[in-house]
Structure 1
Amino acid sequence: MEVDPMLRAFGLACAAAFFFAAPALAEPAPTGPDPDAARMWSYWQSDGTAWLSGQAGTAARDGSVVGWRFAATPDGSAAESPRGDLPAFDQVCGKEPAASGHQRVAVVVDFGDAETDAYPGEQPPAALTRCVSGAEGATGVDLLALAGRVRAEGSGAVLAVNDYPARAKGGSEVAAAPSEPAEGGLPVLWIAGGAGAAVLLAGGVLVARRSRGRATL
């Protein structure tokens, strides 16, 4: 019995489609980020044209741009730089100089990609860019603590920023450095206290003069 050519061609097409689809059917569909993959926060410094890997324990220069990125690192070492356009310092901090004893630095924080970097079930916050003012000699971790809440291990390795990732437990919160001093270098409370003392002293002198005047009458 002779088979219809059109029916034979249709059968061959179906067989070919099944042949090419079989490997895809045999492999399980991806389920998202690997929960067991190594993940880490890495520190970066801008040279004006690109991000360069840096040491978070070293001091940043006044007027510099630094970045932090959370990413999956399957081999435990190859970190990813912050994504997006590389910002210029003046765009973030303006052109006003830092106060005496302080330095102004633009800090970029990239919480990573939801599909490849996040732990399963977690959603990375939106990236943030902030201008911070830290004391001279402030390190990358110190500056990050001025941009958000930071938990780190004793070695200085950052575990979480603004409680992300939530799975990262332990460590201790890094204390943010105090803000810039008031103009003239005197704390506001000292100035207020001095003004109050001056008022009390003036009042005491006035009362003494009145009492002396009454005594001579």
Structure 2
Amino acid sequence: MRGRRLAALPAAAAVLLLLALAAPAHAAGYRYWSYWLRSGATWTYAQTGPAMHTPADGTVEGWRFAVSEDAAATAAQPRGSADFAAICANVPAAPGRKRVALLIDPGTPADAPDSSATPPAPRTACAQLPPSASSADALAAVAKPLRYNSAGIVCAITGYPAAGCGDEISATPHSSHNGPSLGLIAAAAAIAALALAATWQSRRSRNR
């Protein structure tokens, strides 16, 4: 009887794990404005908030509104040209001031909170500021009205979107990020093998 119980434990575990693998996953994404720093021709997801960052003269920064599952790994980058000389061509350098170029990309219709809404076109702007001004100051200088939540997260730039802030979005079951990993499949196979071995050992003991 004890052998039967031991055999049933790994067998049940294998069934539960295999059922979990077969069920569709529902990873969550978030719709929000992401903040980017430009270095040469490369965008890097900012690791600090704009209020905590003090850009140097000649800096290029970007903002992109999109739906992303995992911020740094899958967040959509700003689209369009991001050349400082071109963006700030009409804003001459001034003593005691710095210039920060911004690319603001409201995203695609697929990213819009309302399926019938058309996002504004991406645009660039050049902010001229005191040397101590933050990236949040640069954004406020060229992209009002801004909307923040109680945690200081940027919810809307130039009034877009009109509502919502970092809203959670349910991912589709067919998303490429939702399938079972090879490690989970291997684990299920191993547990199934243990179940078969335990069952065989139990039967062998009874037949002696």
Same fold (TM over 0.5): yes
Counterpart of 1:129? 124
1:98 equivalent among 93, 106, 124: 93
Q: Identity of paired residues, percent?
A: 37
Structure 2 unaligned runs (5+)? 1-27, 166-208
* 1:106 and 1:132 in contact (8 A); partners too: yes
Q: CA deviation at 1:122?
A: 2.0
Matched, 1:47 2:39: yes
2:57 equivalent among 53, 56, 62: 62
Greater than 6 Å deviation, 4+ residue runs: none
Q: What do the CA deviations read for 1:106-134 (whole angstroms, capped 9, x no partner)? A: 1110001112x111232110111011111
* 1:122 and 1:165 in contact (8 A); partners too: no
C-alpha root-mean-square deviation of aligned residues, in Å?
2.2
Q: What do the CA deviations read for 1:184-216 (whole angstroms, capped 9, x no partner)? A: xxxxxxxxxxxxxxxxxxxxxxxxxxxxxxxxx
Q: CA deviation at 1:65?
A: 0.7
Q: CA deviation at 1:60?
A: 0.7
1:81 equivalent among 77, 83, 101: 77
Matched, 1:163 2:155: no
* 1:152 and 1:159 in contact (8 A); partners too: yes
C-alpha separation in 1, matches of 2:136 and 2:66 = 17
Alignment of 1:1-217 (within 5 A): 37-54=29-46, 55=48, 56=50, 57-75=52-70, 78-85=74-81, 87-94=82-89, 98-115=93-110, 117-119=111-113, 120-149=115-144, 150-168=146-164
> How many residues get paired?
132
Q: CA deviation at 1:101?
A: 2.9
Does the residue aligned with 1:40 lie in a helix, a strand or coil? strand
* 1:63 and 1:103 in contact (8 A); partners too: yes
**Greater RCO, 1 or 2 (C-alpha within 8 Å, sep 6+):** 2
TM-score, length of structure 2 as denominator length: 0.57
C-alpha separation in 1, matches of 2:80 and 2:85 = 17
Answer with 1 or 2: which has the greater Rg.
1
Q: CA deviation at 1:137?
A: 2.2
Structure 1 unaligned runs (5+)? 1-35, 170-217
TM-score, length of structure 1 as denominator length: 0.55
